Amino acid sequence: MTVILFTFFLIPAFSQYKYGSNFGDSVLYCLSSKSNHLYEGIDNVIELIIDGKTNPEDYILSTNNGIVFRDSLDFITIPRRIGKSRLIVSQLNGNDTLTLGFSYFNVKRVPDPMLRLDTLSFNEIDTVLKKSIIQADSLTIYFGSDIIGSENWFKIVRYNIGYFYGGFYKSFNYTGNLLNNELKYLISSLGPGKDITITIWAEGEGMLIKELPIFRWIVY
């Protein structure tokens, strides 16, 4: 009788299971983005909800994009590049660490700052109706609606408005972010299609006064 031996080679699928289960968007959430995206180069607040617990102390996060750490009760991740970020959930078990699963997040670039007239937002180079300036009360720096709290990143401390008239450059300085009557009269006196430049100086959290991009508007 001939005996035939079959040898099976089992190759573990580390590429599929190395980081545990794919949690999707059911365990990890970005609290600093309305769309659950991460943003490059800034603090992104992450909440971990697992087994009915929020950010339990015996769980840790790691990432393949930038850094992640625990700050008080929250996790913070700062991606270093746009694209994808994998956040891996592990549990501390004595001297061992058990990898449970992961979630992928899209990483986006922080939007370029816009200048806001009350609730109207305008780009660095844009066309603006004079009445939009005249009817507004203040200027603010705006990074879009998705990043929660970004409206508080910068506080305008002064600004300058200038334009060419008769071959000369006229320049006007204002303190704070309010649009006073003097400025509104100036804007109302400009002819349609006039180019103006707006230079903003702002104070940000943890930084000195910063000069932002010069805004170039055509007013009608």
For 205, phi then psi, to 5°, come to: -65, 125
Q: What is the pLDDT of residue 218?
A: 98
* pLDDT tens column, 126-162: 999 999 999 999 999 999 999 999 999 999 999 999 9
Average pLDDT, the chain: 90
pTM for the full predicted model: 0.83
- Amino acid identity of residue 205, one-letter, is E
Residue 182 in 3-state DSSP? helix
Q: What is the pLDDT of residue 207?
A: 55
36 φ/ψ sector (left φ>0, alpha ψ -120 to 50, else beta):
left
> How far is 127 from 193, CA to CA, in rounded Å?
9
Please determine, for residue 11, whether its predicted confidence score (pLDDT) is greater than 50: no
Indicate the DSSP class of residue 128: E
* pLDDT tens column, 198-213: 999 999 875 556 668 8
Could you give all domains of the chain from N- to C-terminal order, each with its CATH number? 18-108 (2.60.40.3440), 114-219 (2.60.40)
Q: Are the beta carbons of 49 and 31 closer than 8 angstroms? A: no
Mean pLDDT of 87-103: 94
Over the Cα atoms of the chain, what is R_g? 26
Q: Where residue 119 falls among pLDDT bands split at 50, 70, 90?
A: very high
Mean pLDDT of 27-54: 96
Compute how many other C-beta atoms are within 10 angstroms of the C-beta atom of residue 125: 11
